[in-house]
């Protein structure tokens, strides 16, 4: 018995040695973020996985337990049959660039990059490139060999594993990304479909560490992905979109070499999540040489209060006049402008706006077959875009809003990028509506000013759901959707459209700062803005739409948020109470330079439809308490 046990132990040792795992580490330049890959030795085929950790004090906390890696083509699998070949030496990444719109004008990032090379069982190569940034992790798959033969990349094994009972804020997948981000500890959706759109936020259990899953640098040779946890509620698999009626393709059709999008995981304190530029950090640099014509700004927007308003020339004139009075540079002429009547047509409306010093922009249907608001099908081909954009240049239009995209398939990714490229040739700025979430294109094509992909104020027109959920939803978006790019929520409404809102007037005013968008489409009627007291009205006349810096002062998803944004030598602060009960919000001024500053504060008044204001002397380290009504808020300017 003793001899048998002795030989059994020895045999077990030999077996374990033959499949031993070589754990390779990559650490961020600041030492805070670490990735560990389990790599098989001795050419053993293996299920490849990685985990991510974050340093708190002297200890590393597991942010993402071991999670599977891999990708598949129709003719070849690169998942559980990978043999490790080699790893590159660590390379230092240090990148500086400028953004025309976004949370920060001057962006700088540091990372450590390593490339891991593998072969599958048919000796076909696969590289996986990892970058570990000071605020997160990015990795992508690369097929490095050369071939002109078309291949079909069908799926990924990529999975994000979350511990049980992890607090998570994830949006059920929707073609237009217009759903809420409900708090969940189970990962189960109400409709049991178990598909989720990017970005996806979670908090590491019992630790002050957060993570946001998304993707970036999607090209015309990629589709956009989503997450599915159908098999296990705590395992979120990267999933490609299904074919649709007029696009039968699954996955990606391409030649080689090829690379995937960057899979991204922003990691750190909640402020690290909100302030991160990781999505643009990993995206291709600016492809537009001349950018002087690209100007962020506020927009008067006709749709919310009028729906069919752009058919009515006189209504359009009212919104041009509103832009003049409010010092907003733009007016958007929305759908049905091609059938404009009541005193003028689109040419006359554009001429009127230009005569008043207001730059007009125009709406387009992308050409989807399932929605027919006009004008339809003017952008679907390069020839049609060239004709339409030349006409817009001729009459003096500065930008376009393109609506109703059909999904996240590869052809739609190519369509988005083609629109951005062709619009840039004609010096036209772009707003994507009814669209996918931002995936880094604002760096590559900075004429992309904003994207909808949010359950925004427009939904007050559609049903009553937003009325009760808006405050908590608004206090969640800065930690989720708005992290990954400009967000066309169409904010700051004081009157009611089809359905009422019960957020306070000061809450609504604060959305102009809390929500970042290169085009900030102010959605209410002219009478609503004109009837504001002088101080909030003047605030809206001056609030920027692009920022030099962004700081999260305080916040908890669904409960509260305070964000400070800098433009020039002024800080603007916005705070939201996401609760249905009054709440005191604390502004901590640790971010200020030395000296005494004046804080001009506009906050809730005696009721939810009034304001109060004061000027407070502050300095670095000061703390100011702001009493907010239920679903209330405030704004401030530091001069």
CATH of domain 23-281: 2.70.98.10
Radius of gyration of the chain (CA): 26
CA dihedral (309, 310, 311, 312) in degrees, to 10, reads 70
CATH 2.60.40.1180 fits 570-638, yes or no: yes
- The 8-class DSSP code of residue 588 comes to E
Mapping DSSP to helix (H, G, I), strand (E, B) and coil, where does residue 333 land?
Answer: strand
* Cβ 99 vs Cβ 105: under 8 Å: yes
Tokens coding 169? 């804020």
Tokens coding 123? 């000796």
Cα-based angle 175, 267, 178 (whole degrees, multiple of 5): 15
The CATH 2.70.98.10 domain(s) of the chain lie at 23-281
- The 8-class DSSP code of residue 373 comes to P
Average pLDDT over all residues of the chain: 94
Mapping DSSP to helix (H, G, I), strand (E, B) and coil, where does residue 322 land?
Answer: helix
Close Cβ partners of 482 (under 8 Å, ≥ 6 residues apart): 515, 516
The candidate with the shortest Cα–Cα distance to 327, out of 108, 545, 146, is 545
pLDDT band of residue 40 (cuts 50, 70, 90) is: low
pLDDT band of residue 20 (cuts 50, 70, 90) is: very low
Phi and psi (nearest 5°) for 251? 70, -140
Q: What is the pLDDT of residues 164-173, one digit of tens each?
A: 889 999 999 9
Q: What is the pLDDT of residues 482-518, one digit of tens each?
A: 999 999 999 999 999 899 999 999 999 999 999 999 9
- DSSP H helices in 84-231: none
CA 140 to chain CA centroid, Å, is 19
- The 8-class DSSP code of residue 488 comes to -
Q: Which long-range contacts (CB under 8 A, 24 or more apart) does 564-568 make?
A: 564/591, 565/103, 565/513, 565/516
The CATH 2.60.40.1180 domain(s) of the chain lie at 570-638
The candidate with the shortest Cα–Cα distance to 534, out of 613, 428, 605, is 613
Fold of 297-547: TIM Barrel (3.20.20)
Q: Which residue has the higher pLDDT, 519 or 19?
A: 519
The CATH 3.20.20.70 domain(s) of the chain lie at 297-547
Q: Which residue has the higher pLDDT, 405 or 164?
A: 405
Tokens coding 597? 């500053």
**pLDDT of 18:** 36
Q: What is the pTM of this model?
A: 0.95
The candidate with the shortest Cα–Cα distance to 64, out of 155, 162, 175, is 162
- The 8-class DSSP code of residue 458 comes to G
């Amino acid at each position: 018995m003793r001899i048998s046990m002795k030989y059994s132990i020895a045999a077990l040792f030999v077996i374990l040695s033959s499949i031993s795992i070589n754990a390779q580490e990559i650490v961020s330049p600041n030492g805070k973020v670490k990735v560990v890959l389990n790599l098989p030795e001795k050419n053993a085929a293996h299920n490849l996985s990685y985990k991510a950790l974050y340093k708190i004090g002297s200890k590393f906390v597991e942010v993402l337990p071991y999670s599977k890696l891999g990708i598949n083509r129709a003719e070849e699998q690169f998942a559980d049959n990978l043999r490790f070949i080699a790893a590159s030496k660590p390379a230092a990444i240090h990148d500086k660039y400028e953004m025309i719109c976004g949370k920060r004008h001057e962006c700088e990032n540091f990372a450590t990059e390593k490339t891991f090379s593998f072969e599958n069982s048919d000796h076909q190569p696969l590289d996986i490139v990892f970058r570990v940034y000071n605020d997160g992790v990015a990795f992508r798959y690369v097929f490095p060999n050369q071939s002109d033969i078309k291949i079909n990349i069908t799926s990924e094994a990529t999975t994000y594993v979350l511990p049980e009972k992890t607090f998570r804020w994830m949006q059920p997948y929707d073609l237009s990304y217009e759903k809420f981000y409900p708090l969940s500890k189970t990962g189960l959706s109400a409709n049991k479909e178990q598909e989720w759109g990017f970005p996806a936020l979670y908090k590491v259990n019992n630790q002050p560490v957060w993570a946001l899953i998304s993707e970036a640098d999607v090209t015309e040779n990629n589709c956009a992905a989503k997450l599915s946890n159908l098999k296990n509620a705590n395992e979120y698999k990267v999933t490609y979109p299904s074919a649709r009626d007029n696009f039968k393709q699954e996955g990606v059709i391409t030649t080689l070499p090829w690379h995937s999008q960057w899979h991204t995981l922003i990691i750190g304190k909640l402020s690290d999540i909100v302030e991160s530029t990781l999505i643009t950090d990993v995206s291709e640099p600016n492809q537009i040489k001349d950018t002087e014509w690209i100007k962020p700004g506020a927009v008067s927007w006709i749709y919310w209060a009028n729906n069919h308003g752009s058919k009515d020339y006189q209504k359009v004139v009212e919104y041009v006049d509103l832009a003049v009075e409010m010092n907003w540079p733009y007016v958007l002429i929305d759908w049905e402008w091609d059938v404009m009547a009541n005193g003028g047509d689109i040419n006359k409306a554009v001429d009127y706006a230009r005569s008043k010093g207001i730059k007009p922009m125009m709406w387009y249907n992308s050409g989807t077959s399932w929605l027919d608001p006009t004008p339809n099908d003017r952008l679907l081909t390069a020839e049609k875009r060239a004709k339409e954009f030349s006409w817009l240049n001729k009459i003096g239009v500065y930008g376009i809003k393109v609506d109703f995209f059909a999904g996240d398939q590869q052809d739609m990714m190519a369509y988005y990028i083609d629109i951005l490229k062709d619009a840039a040739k004609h010096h036209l700025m772009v707003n994507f509506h009814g669209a996918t979430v931002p995936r880094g294109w604002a760096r590559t094509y900075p004429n992309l000013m904003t994207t909808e992909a949010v359950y925004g104020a427009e939904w007050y027109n559609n049903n009553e759901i937003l009325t009760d959920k808006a405050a908590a939803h608004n206090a969640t978006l800065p930690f989720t959707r708005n992290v990954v790019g400009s967000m066309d929520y169409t904010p700051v409404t004081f009157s009611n459209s089809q359905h009422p809102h019960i957020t306070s007037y000061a809450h609504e005013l604060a959305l102009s700062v809390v929500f970042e968008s290169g085009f900030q489409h102010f959605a209410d009627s002219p009478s609503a803005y004109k009837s504001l007291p002088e101080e909030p009205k003047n605030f809206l006349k001056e609030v920027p739409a692009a920022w030099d810096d962004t700081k999260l002062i305080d916040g908890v998803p669904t409960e509260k948020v305070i964000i400070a944004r800098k433009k020039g030598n002024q800080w603007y602060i916005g705070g939201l109470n996401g609760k249905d009960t009054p709440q005191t919000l604390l502004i901590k001024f640790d971010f200020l330079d030395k000296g005494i500053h004046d804080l001009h504060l506009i906050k809730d008044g005696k009721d939810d439809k009034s304001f109060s204001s004061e000027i407070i002397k502050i300095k670095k380290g000061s703390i100011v308490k702001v009493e907010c009504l239920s679903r209330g808020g405030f704004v401030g300017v530091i001069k």
